[in-house]
Structure 1
Amino acid sequence: MGYVDGRIQASSVTDLGYDQWEITNSLIMGWLIRSMAFELRRFIESSIQGEQMVLQYFTFLTNYWKRLDRLQDYKPICTADLVKYRKFIAQERVFKFLAGLNIEYDPVQSRVLSMDTLLLLQDAFAYVENEESRRFAMMSSVSTDRSALLSTPRDGLSLTLILPSATKDSVFCDYYKKPRHNRETCWKLHRTPSRGRGDRSGVRGGRSGQSRGWGSHLGAHQSSTVDTLDFTSTSIG
């Protein structure tokens, strides 16, 4: 730990213990670099596009690949070896970029991988981003078509929603010159209809006449009864 936090400092080059310090320091630094490279590589491999745009996802990968490159200690033997190594790394990064894309880009992955020559990383990114732009354009077109469908009348029938209040306000009486009714329902033209007061009075009159008639019937019945009683009493006497 002293080599990491700097508590163990390098001794003089002429000191007998310098060689041992150099060996231990190189060993510990190698452990640290390999651990950092491993964690960084694992983080990159587990990364996916998710909610990111294709450009955001590609930029994210590119930045972390640059960090990883600084930790690499690969030393090519010759120029041909260096070319092969770079080609291998480029191919692996194209695979990683395609593998982390969302599932809707599976057809794009298949098309890229089926090409005679595998695209470079920048070309693969441009190909996928072009597909993303095409999808957005199609979605925008579908939304516009749906909006037009809702406002376009078919067979003489409009699909526009009309509220009841709006319907009443649109009606106008050309006789009374007032809104919210028409000539057929205009009370000014046709007068206010009777509320049946005469009928109620007629009923009352009928009831009174009926009462009066019933009273007359009772009076006649009583008079007849009295006459009968008088006749009976006269006969007996």
Structure 2
Amino acid sequence: MADPIAEVVNTESQNTQEQLQNLNIAYRLNGKNYLKWAQLVHRTLKGQGKAKHLTEDAPKEEDPKFTKWDEEDSMIMAWLWNSMIPEITDTCMFLNSAKEIWNAMEQTYSKAKDAAQIYDVKVKTVAAKQGNKTVTEYANQLKSLWMELDHYKVIKAKCLDDSAMLKEYIEQDRVYDFLVGLNSDFDQVRV
């Protein structure tokens, strides 16, 4: 007679494997797109109920949950490696868990490169023009860049009044950025 608990565990492991194999990653980590890659990876794994592999340590080997955890973690590690360009994969190929890979990528590509990332986003913001895009497409392009800047430039004000004034200043500055990039058809709006 088959062990019903073992069957459930095997079925769950198979489902996890199939789910991870069917995931396509739109952003392969290339060293310049960490923020979008990390967001996509975290949300994807969270949607599969597997985000804990990025943030929690494995159960002890004596724990009955260890084998399942280890199998899932190995699949997630392989999926993470496949979501990176080969040069980056090579730097973390011999790490022992998905959490170690995740932490190594965060340490290498997140806050350590803020100045370069901020510069890159600012250049893209200044260079953004409406061109052949609709006003909505152009506005969405800028909004995406501004959201990325907000991630990197967290400003902590000591009082609420200063915070409100700073937010108003930033929003006003962004309106100017938007107006500068509009096509000449909108010159009347800029006046």
- Shorter-normalised TM-score: what interval? 0.3 to 0.5
Structure whose alpha-carbon radius of gyration is higher: 1
With a CA cutoff of 8 Å and minimum separation of 6, indicate the structure with the bigger relative contact order. Answer: 2
TM-score (norm 1): 0.34
The TM-score, its normalising length taken from structure 2, stands at 0.42
